[in-house]
Amino acid sequence: MKFNLFSLAAFPILLLLNLTGSQSQTVNNSYAVIPQPTTLKPAAGKFLLYKNTVIISPANSVFNAATAELKSMTGHCSATAKTTGKIILKTGNSALPKGGYILSVKNGSVIITSNTAEGAFYAVSTLKQLIGAPLYAGHPLNTLHVPCVEITDAPRFEWRGMHLDVSRHFFDIAYLEKMIDRMALYKFNKFHLHLTDDQGWRIEIKKYPELTAQGAWRMLNHQDSTCLALAKDNPDYALPEKHFRMIDGIKKYGGFYTQEEIKGLISYAQARSIEIIPEIDMPGHMMAATALLPWLTSNGKGGQGKGFSEPLCPCKETTYTFAENVFTEIAALFPSQYIHLGADEVEKSSWKNVPECEALMKKEGLKNINELQSYFVHRMERFLISKNKKMIGWDEILDGGISKTATMMYWRTWVKDAPKHAAEKGNEIIMAPGEYCYFDAQQDVNSLQKVYQFDPLGFQLSKAGQKLIKGVQSCTWTETIPSEQRLEYMIFPRMMAMSEIAWSSTPADWKNFENRVVMQLPMLDAMHINYRFMDLKGFSLNSVFTDTASLRISNPIPAFKIHYTTNGSLPLLSSPVFNERIQVSRPVQFKLAAFNTTGKRGEVYTVNYKKQTSAEPTKVKDLQKGLNFSYYPHGYKAVKEINEKDLEVQKVTSAIEIPIEKTADQFATRHKGYFYAEQTGVYTFFLRSDDGSVLKMDGNVLVDNDGMHFATEKSAQIALKKGYHTFELLFLEGGGGYTLKLEVQDPSGKRGDVNAKDFYR
């Protein structure tokens, strides 16, 4: 049965207040440009684009790509005008930086000034955003409108990259082209393709046809099983049927790109000012190849090693013959100056006690297996240089000694000083720290803002070090991203935040950015992008009331209506609309979701309200400020596994902090004492952690955020009487850098960090 606001009698458990009034802010949505241009001066009036709008570009100019885009825009108009305005492309302003442009839109003319092909192209990207959704309507429109404006603009970083792992799950050329279009709209200029990994080899190598004939196809693996299990509730996790083939009579998953297809993709990208950067990840992550050519590994068998797969053996000449043959074809195929060698997560222990390795280490004076890895990387870099290429490697290339000429791609946020060390050695750096830049990280209420907070010039870099930052990049690893729909959900709108970090020299404040994202959503809808809605906020999924409570929701996208149910069914467009607040006086479960203007549903939030009597405070005397802190440098999978025999440090902390200078890669902590409730009422605790955490209050689990995961926030409410309440926060870090943050919202609605004034022991 559906519930609506007029059927109160059927649902006596709720007292509903359907308050009028809108939360929407008035916004001028004519100038929602992302990334934010350097200067943008709005002006009155608009330029009208018609089928016969004249485009004037110098003959044989570098502006062909921009002109082609403009022609496709006028081609989108069905009407002609008697006297149309003109679009003029010109060079001229020598002060314009590389990639910069001036865009001047007046009633009768659009003038694009730039000295480079890409600058003019970016001006057109801006123009497209100024037109917005109508440009992407599925049918021609009479005319398109551009609001008058004066824009000067130039990129902050020369490297504005997006990465896609096409090995774990495969994405075809048609979809890569779609991604390129979208990257171009947001002024990205590098598309890093992770072409090989343990789970599949995706690029034709003529010398080793088996790499794709067999290595591109697999039986379903455990990552596929995870996806298929998730697909039961969310069809976006299903593996697309188009990526299955009968190989030797068996149905297998996979796919690969022929060299001809890649040539086509490269020109498609070039026409949009984007360069494809190939990565052939070695010596680790090579199982797709070593399963077919096991002699490439030290044990001659390949397979899974201790932590990662068996790597190539750096001590056999046959390895270099193979690697050089592969990179000879890659270097000839890809015109990019840079080639990515990978070199991350290598199971170097596989090289211990191998006679060839012992001999090589002795001959070359290599002290350990890190130096052995550097030997491999340096030798491959020399080979790439011989092909006129520059090498990029993940930040592990620093470990055994980095060459002077390598470019380091930083990903391990937890190795905090890696950028500083690389910069001190004079190496160029591309910043892709996982904490901010990994779009495979599951999303929550904070994830978009997290990207926007990314400061690529932080990370202990000196002024001189900052000059070595070539740029930034997002990475999307696809172990659990099998479909285009799921990929779009993971990268939109986060790639919009990344584009602003990459491009804008003076990024706007978060609110301003968030507003522009909201304004662009109709355009994303018109482009049929499966973006993730920004989260509804201001409530806890685990809510309580003592007498009555108000469920209020802060909706960042005012144009999207919220619908809800109270009978356990999923909300539909036909479910009642949530208007500002609902008064709750009986236990109830709400399922609520925002719906966009095309009727698509966003995340479903299940909000449970339980009745509670306020917990009595604990009678304690002579308390001191602070919490008792314990540190356990041991790897656990869940906080309930924490074992007192692993206890190594005990201290007193004033708040939720981890006072250990250099924590182990894996560890757990406990903060224990009392929380002082200053007033009687309902408190909401918000616990954000990477990895797991559990908050216990008055001896019971209040927030359960346990397990291994990226930074995720969970919250719960509790009714407390004024006074001291026992408090225990357990936390574990499973490797890869940690986050631990606890906030509280007091009964008056004020939210902030739980801090020293709240804690006693």
Q: At what angle do helices 117-131 and 64-74 cross, to 10 degrees?
A: 20
* ∠ CA 147-150-154, rounded to 5°: 120
- CB 165, min distance to ligand ACM, A: 9
| Angstrom distance (rounded) from CA 176 to CA 204 | 17
Among 411, 492, 632, 759, indicate the residue that binds ligand ACM (CB under 6 A): 411
345 is catalytic: yes
Q: Name residues contacting ligand ACM, limited to 372-401 (CB under 6 A).
A: 394
Which CB, 560 or 710, lies closer to ligand ACM?
A: 710
| Angstrom distance (rounded) from CA 116 to CA 155 | 13
Among 153, 198, 310, 344, indicate the residue that binds ligand ACM (CB under 6 A): 344
Q: Give the residue carrying structure tokens 């984007």.
A: 274
Q: How many residues does the chain have?
A: 761
Which CB, 394 or 459, lies closer to ligand ACM?
A: 394
Which CB, 479 or 728, lies closer to ligand ACM?
A: 479
| Angstrom distance (rounded) from CA 719 to CA 738 | 30
Q: What is the dihedral of CA 388, 408, 180, 515, to 10 degrees?
A: -150
Which CB, 118 or 440, lies closer to ligand ACM?
A: 440
Which CB, 327 or 394, lies closer to ligand ACM?
A: 394
Point out the catalytic residue in the list 150, 345, 371, 424: 345
Which CB, 100 or 734, lies closer to ligand ACM?
A: 734
Query: Would you state the structure tokens that stand for residue 696, as one six-digit string?
Result: 């216990």
- CB 440, min distance to ligand ACM, A: 9
- CB 396, min distance to ligand ACM, A: 8
- CB 298, min distance to ligand ACM, A: 21
Residue 272 CB neighbours (<10 A): 22
HEC profile of 206-251: CCCCHHHHCCCEECCCHHHHHHHHHHCCCHHHCCCHHHEEEECCEE
Which CB, 394 or 724, lies closer to ligand ACM?
A: 394
* ∠ CA 452-458-462, rounded to 5°: 155
Q: Name residues contacting ligand ACM, limited to 457-486 (CB under 6 A).
A: none
Residue type present at position 548: T
Helix and strand numbers, DSSP H then E, in the chain: 17, 37
| Angstrom distance (rounded) from CA 582 to CA 14 | 8
Q: Is the CB of residue 282 less than 8 Å from the CB of residue 391?
A: no
- CB 614, min distance to ligand ACM, A: 47
DSSP secondary structure, 111-148, as one string:
EEE-SSHHHHHHHHHHHHHHH-GGGG-SS-BS-EEEEE
CA 81 to chain centre: 44
- CB 155, min distance to ligand ACM, A: 25
Residue 345 interacting with ligand ACM (CB under 6 A): yes
Residue 146 CB neighbours (<10 A): 25
Report the largest interatomic distance among the alpha carbons of the chain, rounded to a whole angstrom. Answer: 88
- CB 408, min distance to ligand ACM, A: 12
Pattern of binders to ligand ACM over 302-341, x per CB under 6 A?
----------------------------------------
Which CB, 322 or 394, lies closer to ligand ACM?
A: 394
Residue 191 has phi, psi (to 5 degrees) of -120, 105
Q: Is the CB of residue 556 less than 8 Å from the CB of residue 521?
A: no
Residue 439 interacting with ligand ACM (CB under 6 A): no
- CB 393, min distance to ligand ACM, A: 10
- CB 29, min distance to ligand ACM, A: 37
| Angstrom distance (rounded) from CA 639 to CA 643 | 9
Residue 710 interacting with ligand ACM (CB under 6 A): no
Give the nearest residue (CB) to ligand ACM: 344
- CB 394, min distance to ligand ACM, A: 4
Which CB, 411 or 489, lies closer to ligand ACM?
A: 411
| Angstrom distance (rounded) from CA 423 to CA 411 | 15
For residue 612, give Cα distances in angstroms to 546, 616, 677, 717.
Answer: 5, 12, 16, 10
Which CB, 3 or 159, lies closer to ligand ACM?
A: 159
Burial of 547 (0-12, 13-18, 19+ CB in 10 A): exposed
Residue type present at position 383: F
Active site residues: 345
Q: Which residues bind ligand ACM (CB under 6 A)?
A: 344-345, 394, 411
